[in-house]
């Protein structure tokens, strides 16, 4: 009989556990009203179960069982407020408290919407099933670990896909030994746009030799070809190693004119030639431009020449180009996958932004969502709401947007349908 009653105590129900609160006690005097202290809980009843409680003075000879008081009273002991488990339910809905009123029941917690917290909140037997911890930017690797602006969640780690060689340009984009520059893979040993490091571009006529740009016509470390260095006192003239006093390095076969002078066997314009800028023995630093006999950095002020770029343009290999989705803050760094270039955002790790779900740039580059808000379909919405054309809605109960935006429940047999749990029902 005891075994059968124990199973009955665990029978499931869905009433509010607050209807039978328990209270920690050590003596009857700790309990309010006509409650008594039984095994650490304040319970209702004329007498306790006959099992001694925490009060050493509680030795009343009239001790007897507390009856459940229901219409089918079995006389069995009822212990209100004690913890119980409903084996037919899952997650937070398994745990409850006993109550005694008409029957002895296990009152369990009601289910709620699933949140990322390592708990089965919706009591379906699965935990945090709505989140992909390997790719979710708000829950990357574990619940509530959000990736910073411009970072993506790849394999449970927050990475900058503009520089990460394992996830270059997106998760899984492995450069396989090359270097990731602006979301693309480059062999920096030979690339003339990223020579030795990202962003270091070679000038016209130069090649990349390992980690630096070189003019094979005049570079003594790379004369004619990259792995050829001149020895002794020889210098590189026209791609060959020669004595600096030789005619190959000093004599010009023709008379120089048109404002040019003879430098190392060639007629050059020292107003514009970066190898002989202002005079034969004055080369510009690597990557600089020679303008009116002065050396300047090759940037927006002197882009591939001496003219400046317009405001908002970048200096790239092709010259001045707009700072837009094709060259977003960095030359040849194109925004892909529906992202938008936000060049005016202060120091973003990745200026290509998905405006549909980024709380720092929601809907446009400058809109930042407030606390307790998410960015949903380009709208700042409260947690649990979804951005739809007619505003932020709850897809679980909105009859005009039931389970998805624009899904209207409509009318059945002249009765408007309701949206319940994301499904249209009568």
Q: 7 and 83: one domain?
A: yes
Matching residue, tokens 């048109």: 258
Q: 7 and 52: one domain?
A: yes
How confident is residue 381, by pLDDT bands cut at 50, 70 and 90?
Answer: very high
- Chain centroid to Cα 102, Å, comes to 53
Work out the mean pLDDT of the chain and round it to a whole number: 79
How confident is residue 346, by pLDDT bands cut at 50, 70 and 90?
Answer: low
Res 396 pLDDT > 60: yes
* Within-domain flag for 174: no
Instruction: Tell me, yes or no, if the pTM score tops 0.85.
Output: no
| pLDDT for the residue numbered 348 | 63
Q: 357 and 421: one domain?
A: no
* Within-domain flag for 346: yes
For residue 393, the 8-state DSSP code is: E
Strand extents, DSSP E, 88-174: 95-100, 104-108, 152-154, 157-159
| pLDDT for the residue numbered 61 | 35
Res 107 pLDDT > 90: no
Q: 29 and 98: one domain?
A: yes
Res 50 pLDDT > 60: no
Q: 339 and 421: one domain?
A: no
Residue with the larger pLDDT of the pair 236 and 58: 236
* Within-domain flag for 82: yes
Which of 108, 127, 147 is the endpoint of a domain? 108
Q: 60 and 19: one domain?
A: yes
Q: 20 and 89: one domain?
A: yes
* Within-domain flag for 205: no
Cα distance between residue 350 and residue 258, in whole Å? 49
Which of 51, 75, 108 is the endpoint of a domain? 108
pLDDT digits (tens, 9 = 90+) for 173-212: 899 999 999 999 999 999 999 999 999 999 888 899 988 8
The closest alpha carbon to 157, from 177, 142, 174, belongs to 142
* Within-domain flag for 166: no
How confident is residue 369, by pLDDT bands cut at 50, 70 and 90?
Answer: very high
pLDDT digits (tens, 9 = 90+) for 299-320: 888 888 888 888 878 888 778 8
* Within-domain flag for 302: no
Q: 339 and 394: one domain?
A: no
Q: 24 and 87: one domain?
A: yes
The sign of the CA dihedral 79, 83, 88, 94 is: positive
Q: 343 and 416: one domain?
A: no
pLDDT digits (tens, 9 = 90+) for 59-69: 433 334 444 43
* Within-domain flag for 116: no
Q: What's the domain count of the chain?
A: 3
Q: Which domain holds residue 405?
A: 386-425
Q: 21 and 88: one domain?
A: yes
* Within-domain flag for 244: no
Q: 346 and 394: one domain?
A: no
Which of 108, 132, 151 is the endpoint of a domain? 108
């Amino acid at each position: 009989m005891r075994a059968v009653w124990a199973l009955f105590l665990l029978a499931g129900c869905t009433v509010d556990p607050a209807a039978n609160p328990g209270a920690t006690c050590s003596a009857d005097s700790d309990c309010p009203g006509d409650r008594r202290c039984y095994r650490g809980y304040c319970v209702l009843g004329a007498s306790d179960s006959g099992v001694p409680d925490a009060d050493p003075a509680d030795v009343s000879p009239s001790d007897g069982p507390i009856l459940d008081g229901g219409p089918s009273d079995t006389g069995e002991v009822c212990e209100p407020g004690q913890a119980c488990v409903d084996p037919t339910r899952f997650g937070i809905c398994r745990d409850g408290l006993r109550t005694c009123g008409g029957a002895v029941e296990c009152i369990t917690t009601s289910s709620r919407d699933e949140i990322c917290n390592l708990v089965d909140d919706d009591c379906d037997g699965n935990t945090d099933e709505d989140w992909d911890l390997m790719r979710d930017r708000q829950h990357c690797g574990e619940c509530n670990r959000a990736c910073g602006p411009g970072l993506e969640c790849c394999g449970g780690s927050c990475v900058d896909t503009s520089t990460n060689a394992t996830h270059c340009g997106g998760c899984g984009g492995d450069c396989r030994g090359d270097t990731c520059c602006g979301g693309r893979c480059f062999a920096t040993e030979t690339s003339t746009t990223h020579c030795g490091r990202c962003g270091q571009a070679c000038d016209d006529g130069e090649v990349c030799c390992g980690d630096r740009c070189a003019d094979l016509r005049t570079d003594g470390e790379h004369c004619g070809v990259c792995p050829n260095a001149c020895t002794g006192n020889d210098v590189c003239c026209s791609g060959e190693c020669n004595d600096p006093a030789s005619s190959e390095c000093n004599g010009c076969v023709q008379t120089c004119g048109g404002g040019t002078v003879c430098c190392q066997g060639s007629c050059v314009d020292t107003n514009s030639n970066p190898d002989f800028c202002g005079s034969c023995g004055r080369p510009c630093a690597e990557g600089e431009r020679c303008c009116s006999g002065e050396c300047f950095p090759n940037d927006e002020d002197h882009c591939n020449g001496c003219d400046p770029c317009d405001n908002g343009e970048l200096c790239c290999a092709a010259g001045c180009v707009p700072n837009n989705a094709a060259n977003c803050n960095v030359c040849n760094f194109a925004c892909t996958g529906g992202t938008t270039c936000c060049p005016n955002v202060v120091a973003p790790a990745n200026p290509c932004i998905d405006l549909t779900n980024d709380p720092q740039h929601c809907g446009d580059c400058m809109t930042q969502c407030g606390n307790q808000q998410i960015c949903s379909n380009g709208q700042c919405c409260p947690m649990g709401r979804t951005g739809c054309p007619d505003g932020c809605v709850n897809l679980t109960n909105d009859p005009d947007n039931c389970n998805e935006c624009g899904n209207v429940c409509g009318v059945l047999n002249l009765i408007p349908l309701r949206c319940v749990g994301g499904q249209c029902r009568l």
